[in-house]
Amino acid sequence: MTYCLAISVNKGLIFASDSRTNAGVDYVTTYSKMHSFVWPGERVCVLLTAGNLATSQAVVNNIKTGLAAQGSGMNLRKGKYLHEVAHYVGQLSQAEQREHADALQKSGNSSAEASFILGGQIAGLAPEIYLIYPQGNYISASPETPFLQIGENKYGKPILDRIITPATSLEDAARCALVSLESTIRSNISVGPPLELAIHTINELHEPVRMKLTLNSPMYKSLQKQWNEGLRDAFSRLPRFDWE
Amino acid sequence: MTYCLAISVNKGLIFASDSRTNAGVDYVTTYSKMHSFVWPGERVCVLLTAGNLATSQAVVNNIKTGLAAQGSGMNLRKGKYLHEVAHYVGQLSQAEQREHADALQKSGNSSAEASFILGGQIAGLAPEIYLIYPQGNYISASPETPFLQIGENKYGKPILDRIITPATSLEDAARCALVSLESTIRSNISVGPPLELAIHTINELHEPVRMKLTLNSPMYKSLQKQWNEGLRDAFSRLPRFDWE
């Protein structure tokens, strides 16, 4: 399993992901699920991946192959709008899934499906984030729905629902993403560290600020401890029943 | 959808449920999902239901029919141990599902599956809670896993994971159940009020304390407001990044 999310606020974009993958419960491994593609001054793209690891790795490889190719075909750098790039990623994903679908079905193995979040900014345009479904279609965030999630999204959604608005600062959005990941890690063993975080400030078209947090990183330990204490404190101040 | 949960602590049991049911998005109704069966001094049983409403209603009706019948068959009052009662409820559920499975499949309609939480206490025995799967088998809570959930369980699980231990007071467990329901209602439109709460104090073999909370109930409004403020306060006190 996996949990990745992206948040779009007025000041820019936040991307966050866990790093645990598993095939069954006896093959648990660590892979980064965050990939950035940056042409300074021109465009910034960040891709988050969930689902079948073979599919998501193949999509990333094919994005890189596409960028290296000299032909006239579409690639990550050519899309004029970010939704064209999202469409392209959806096509790569569908092509990869089609190639292996029959074999997977015959062997009774799990699905080849993968989901993606693509976000970033193209010079002259606003920052955007897209969720690309396994079927290759995609949706963007909006002011009313300023975040997108893939993978194990439910445990970490309540805090996002409560805190995130377009006016939220980049740092608060990043903290909220970490809290959302921390709640998910606590409730689902198949989501795990290290956590990766990328912060894209609006109109700064260079490599986003990247952080990798392990369970022992001072920032993560401190956030985890203070959030736990803060929640317990909030809980202890809830109203009493009549008879108490 | 539905969200019901039960918590087993040293001092007794907490049961909580929402009341929204829906068949598609255009037939949304309100039904109680909490049913209590009490023989003072002898036994207390509380049943929470999730899943197909026809199945869960039929199971409750068949429990009542079984209690009214004079024969030698099993009924809710006869099980010597609560796990025997859980087994009986599982059998009623399976029988009901079998009767309609073919017809439902033929019409392409949704599943007849239903899940139940059965909890309570039989005189001379400890209080217990059981989760009864749609397949009729069941599990109990334990000191390490002191709560059970059915229906839309993920949004409301993190706070339970964080707060509930066997030493938690009955009132704190009840508050935690309400917070868990409130988070779920906020994130999933198919879970809705009124909320029902039942509190069984250990060895008090009479009707549990029952509360029904609407969105306008002073207790619920106050809990919702204070929890929201407490979370925001906790969030505002999280550690800053190096560059802030």
CB contact under 8 A, A186 and B239: no
CB contact under 8 A, B186 and A162: yes
Among residues of chain A, what percentage have pLDDT more than 70? 100
pLDDT of B4 strictly over 80: yes
| Closest chain B residue to A232, measured at CA | B163
Within 13 Å and on the Cβ side, how many CA atoms surround B130?
24
pLDDT of B18 strictly over 80: yes
| Gyration radius from chain A CA atoms | 19
CB contact under 8 A, B187 and A232: no
CB of A54 less than 8 A from some CB of B: no
In order of start, what are the domains of chain A with their CATH numbers? 3-236 (3.60.20.10)
The count of other CB atoms within 10 Å of the CB of residue B65 is 12
For residue A110, give every residue at least 6 positions away whose Cβ sits within 8 Å of its Cβ, in sequence order, or none: A23, A52, A104
For residue A197, give every residue at least 6 positions away whose Cβ sits within 8 Å of its Cβ, in sequence order, or none: A14, A15, A16, A174, A177, A178, A210, A211, A212, A213
Partner residue opposite A154 with nearest CB, options B155, B223, B228: B155
User: What is the pLDDT, as a whole number, of residue A35?
Assistant: 97
Q: What is the pLDDT of residues A118-142, one digit of tens each?
A: 999 999 999 999 999 999 999 999 9
Q: How many residues would you count in chain A?
A: 244
* Cα–Cα distance, B96 to B85 (Å, whole number): 17
Determine the 3-state secondary structure of A144 from DSSP: coil
For residues B33-53, average pLDDT: 96
Instruction: Check: CB of residue A45 under 8 Å from CB of residue A207.
Output: no
For residues A164 and A103, which has the higher predicted lDDT (pLDDT)? A164
**CA distance to A8, A141, A163, A194, A201, per residue, from A169 (Å):** 10, 17, 11, 24, 10
CB of A221 less than 8 A from some CB of B: no
Nearest to A160 by CA among A33, A2, A11, A3: A3
| Gyration radius from chain B CA atoms | 19
Q: What is the pLDDT of residues B39-48, one digit of tens each?
A: 999 999 999 9
Q: Which H helix or E strand runs over A216?
A: none
Average pLDDT, chain B: 94
Nearest to B56 by CA among B81, B82, B32, B83: B32
* Cα–Cα distance, B101 to B110 (Å, whole number): 10
The angle, 0 to 180 degrees and rounded to 10, between the axes of the packed helices A53-68 and A82-106 is 130
Chain B residues with CB inside 8 Å of A174's CB? 241
Q: How confident is the model at residue A214 (pLDDT cuts 50, 70, 90)?
A: very high
The count of other CB atoms within 10 Å of the CB of residue A99 is 12
CB contact under 8 A, A234 and B226: yes
Q: Which of B169, B197, B241, B243 to mutate to test the interface with A (most CBs of A within 10 A)?
A: B241
User: What is the pLDDT, as a whole number, of residue B30?
Assistant: 87
Q: What is the pLDDT of residues B214-224, one digit of tens each?
A: 999 999 999 99
CB of B145 less than 8 A from some CB of A: no
User: What is the pLDDT, as a whole number, of residue A17?
Assistant: 97
User: What is the pLDDT, as a whole number, of residue B107?
Assistant: 85
Output the furthest CA–CA distance in chain A (Å, rounded): 76
CB of A163 less than 8 A from some CB of B: yes
Which of A15-24, A42-51, B57-66 comes out lowest in average pLDDT?
A15-24
User: What is the pLDDT, as a whole number, of residue A211?
Assistant: 96
pLDDT of B24 strictly over 90: no
Q: What b/e readout covers B172-200, taking b as 16+ CB neighbours within 10 angstroms? A: bbbbbbbbbbbbbbbbbebbbbbbbbbbb
pLDDT of A236 strictly over 90: yes
* Cα–Cα distance, A77 to A44 (Å, whole number): 9
Nearest to A220 by CA among B241, B101, B114: B241
Q: What is the pLDDT of residues B166-196, one digit of tens each?
A: 999 999 999 999 999 999 998 888 888 899 9
Partner residue opposite A222 with nearest CB, options B172, B176, B239: B239
The string of DSSP letters for chain B reads: --EEEEEEETTEEEEEE--EEESSSS-EEE---EEEEEETTTEEEEEEEEE-HHHHHHHHHHHHHHHH--SSS--TTT-SSHHHHHHHHHHHHHHHHHHHHHHHHHTT-----EEEEEEEEETTS--EEEEE-TTS-EEE--SSS-EEEEES-STTHHHHHHH--TTS-HHHHHHHHHHHHHHHHHH-TTS-SPEEEEEEETT--SPPEEEEE-TT-HHHHHHHHHHHHHHHHHHHTSPPPTT-
CB of A202 less than 8 A from some CB of B: no
Partner residue opposite A158 with nearest CB, options B186, B226, B232: B186
CB of A27 less than 8 A from some CB of B: no
- Which ipTM value was assigned to this complex? 0.91
pLDDT of A173 strictly over 90: yes
pLDDT of B161 strictly over 90: yes
- Determine the distance in angstroms separating the CA of B234 from the nearest CA of chain A, rounded to an integer: 4
CB of B172 less than 8 A from some CB of A: yes
Chain A residues with CB inside 8 Å of B161's CB? 186-187
Average pLDDT, chain A: 94
Chain A residues with CB inside 8 Å of B238's CB? 175, 179, 223, 226-227, 230
Instruction: Check: CB of residue A96 under 8 Å from CB of residue A55.
Output: yes
| Closest chain B residue to A180, measured at CA | B158
Q: What is the pLDDT of residues B72-117, one digit of tens each?
A: 899 999 999 999 999 999 999 999 999 988 888 888 777 899 999 9
CB of A191 less than 8 A from some CB of B: no
CB of A189 less than 8 A from some CB of B: no
* Six-digit token string for A137: 């279609």
Tokens 């993920």 correspond to what residue? B154
User: What is the pLDDT, as a whole number, of residue A23?
Assistant: 75
* Cα–Cα distance, A76 to A51 (Å, whole number): 21
Determine the 3-state secondary structure of A198 from DSSP: strand
* Six-digit token string for A207: 């490599």
Q: How many residues would you count in chain B?
A: 244
Q: Is the peptide bond before B158 cis (omega within 30 degrees of 0)?
A: no
Q: Long-range contacts made by residues A143-146, C-beta under 8 angstroms, separation at least 24?
A: A146/A7, A146/A8, A146/A9
Among residues of chain A, what percentage have pLDDT more than 90? 84
CB of B189 less than 8 A from some CB of A: no
Which of A184-193, A232-241, B85-94, B158-167 comes out lowest in average pLDDT?
A184-193
Which of A102-111, B154-163, B168-177, B233-242 comes out lowest in average pLDDT?
A102-111
Phi, psi of A112 (to 5 degrees): -90, 5
